[in-house]
């Protein structure tokens, strides 16, 4: 049983989260920021955590694997782009603790294994990425951040068996997917965004076909990505039934998911795994690798690995600008 005080604390928690909301331009629009209608959708769920004196649990399907296009990223390992996003999530949890002492926890549901074949990334590359993400979480904030992936669901299965299992248990037919996407403007926008990313990830010097042929292929694969995404979402709802669902995709007002921005970027569709971190004027933004290099940015290595770019160079005798998370930059 929740009280009016529990609800007030829950609304304050949601207000902090919604400061970083990623809103859909399609459908009903949020009239305010933070939006009270979006908060109302999740209020009861958060209030129950408050009443129980527990850390609020958020589930975020994200951080799948690096894009296979070398014009966008530095390699298969997570780098400073991921580190900054994780530090942002950690700071957000600590910020919530100022309102609700138990704070919050974000369960990052790394979905690369779910989509590997469809996005043309090998399981070996996905494993390298996930290993790197675990190292980052352990370094940054294992108390408030947790990783979960398909390997945790089916540890005794092969990767192909894992994917087949969620298709069988949670999947929809292609006809159902097509009809649902056609009928929902937000679903259609997400589908088109996925097509765009699939084309970008494959359109490089190694691709031997025409762009039109690639677009046709990617439109077909995008239905598979949407289908697997929905299957993964159903599985997560079973595994984390009380959690508040976050999303990297823009969400309409009062959606069951809260869209959240993980980093600053001119292109709101960019994510840490489709871009590089570029330092300029003491802060960081996301850019595609080729754009950073075209702008004259300098590549920085950390512990022998490519980490990020610096676009604005500090003057002689001046120390480099301090590391700042997207939260600090807002």
Cα–Cα dist 76/308, whole Å: 14
- The mean pLDDT of 34-41, rounded to a whole number, is 91
Judged by phi (left if over 0) then psi (alpha if -120 to 50, else beta), residue 57 lies in: beta
Per-residue confidence at 329, pLDDT binned at 50, 70, 90?
Answer: very low
pLDDT for 44 = 97
Residue 291: phi, psi to the nearest 5? -70, -40
Q: Which domain holds residue 194?
A: 4-329
pLDDT for 73 = 97
Enter the DSSP assignment of 157.
S
Rg (C-alpha) for the chain, rounded Å, is 20
pLDDT for 313 = 56
pLDDT digits (tens, 9 = 90+) for 204-258: 767 778 889 999 999 999 999 999 999 999 999 999 999 999 999 888 899 999 9
Residue 326 has pLDDT above 60, yes or no: no
Cα–Cα dist 276/327, whole Å: 17
- The mean pLDDT of 193-214, rounded to a whole number, is 85
3-state secondary structure string across 303-322:
CCEEEEEECCCCCCCCCCCC
- H runs (alpha helix) in 240-302: 289-294
pLDDT for 139 = 96
Tokens of 195: 């097509």
pLDDT digits (tens, 9 = 90+) for 51-110: 999 999 999 999 999 999 999 999 999 999 999 999 999 999 999 999 999 999 999 999
Average predicted confidence (pLDDT) for the chain? 90
Cα–Cα dist 201/223, whole Å: 16
CA 176 to chain centre: 26
The tally of domains found in the chain comes to: 1
More confident residue, 321 or 199: 199
How wide is the angle at C-alpha 105 spanned by C-alphas 129 and 227, nearest 5°?
A: 55
pLDDT for 315 = 40
Predicted structure pTM score:
0.89
> DSSP letters of 202-222?
H-STT--S-HHHHHHHHHHHH
pLDDT digits (tens, 9 = 90+) for 108-163: 999 999 999 899 999 999 999 999 999 999 999 999 999 999 999 989 999 999 99
pLDDT digits (tens, 9 = 90+) for 266-294: 887 789 999 999 999 889 999 999 999 99
pLDDT digits (tens, 9 = 90+) for 169-182: 999 999 999 999 99
Residue 330 has pLDDT above 50, yes or no: no
Tokens of 313: 């160079």
Tokens of 2: 């929740």
């Amino acid at each position: 049983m929740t009280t009016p005080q529990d609800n007030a604390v829950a609304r304050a928690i949601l207000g902090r989260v919604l400061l970083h909301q990623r809103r859909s331009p399609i459908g009903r629009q949020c009239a305010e920021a933070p939006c009270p209608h979006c908060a109302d959708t999740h209020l009861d769920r958060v209030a129950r955590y408050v009443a129980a004196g527990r850390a609020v649990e958020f589930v975020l399907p994200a951080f799948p694997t690096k894009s296979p296009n070398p014009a966008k990223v530095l390699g298969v390992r997570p780098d400073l782009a991921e580190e900054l996003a994780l530090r942002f999530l950690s700071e957000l949890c600590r910020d919530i603790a100022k309102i609700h002492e138990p704070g919050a926890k974000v369960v990052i549901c790394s979905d690369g294994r779910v989509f590997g074949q469809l996005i043309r990334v090998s399981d070996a590359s996905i494993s390298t990425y996930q290993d790197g993400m675990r190292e980052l979480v352990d370094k940054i904030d294992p108390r408030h951040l947790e990783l979960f992936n398909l390997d945790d669901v089916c540890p005794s299965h092969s990767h192909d068996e894992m994917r087949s299992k969620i298709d069988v248990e949670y999947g929809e037919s292609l006809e159902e997917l097509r009809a649902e996407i056609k009928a929902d403007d937000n679903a259609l926008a997400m589908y088109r965004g996925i097509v765009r990313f699939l084309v970008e990830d494959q359109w490089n010097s190694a691709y031997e076909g025409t762009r039109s042929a690639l677009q046709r292929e990617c439109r077909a694969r995008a239905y598979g990505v949407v289908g697997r995404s929905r299957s993964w979402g159903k599985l997560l709802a079973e595994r984390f039934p009380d959690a508040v669902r976050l999303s990297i995709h823009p969400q309409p007002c009062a959606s069951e998911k809260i869209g959240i921005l993980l980093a600053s970027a001119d292109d709101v569709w960019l994510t840490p795994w489709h871009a590089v971190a570029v330092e300029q004027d003491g802060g960081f933004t996301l850019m595609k690798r080729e754009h950073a290099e075209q702008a004259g940015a300098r590549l920085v290595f950390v512990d022998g690995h490519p980490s990020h770019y610096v676009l604005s160079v500090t003057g002689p005798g001046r120390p480099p600008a301090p590391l700042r998370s997207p939260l600090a930059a807002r």
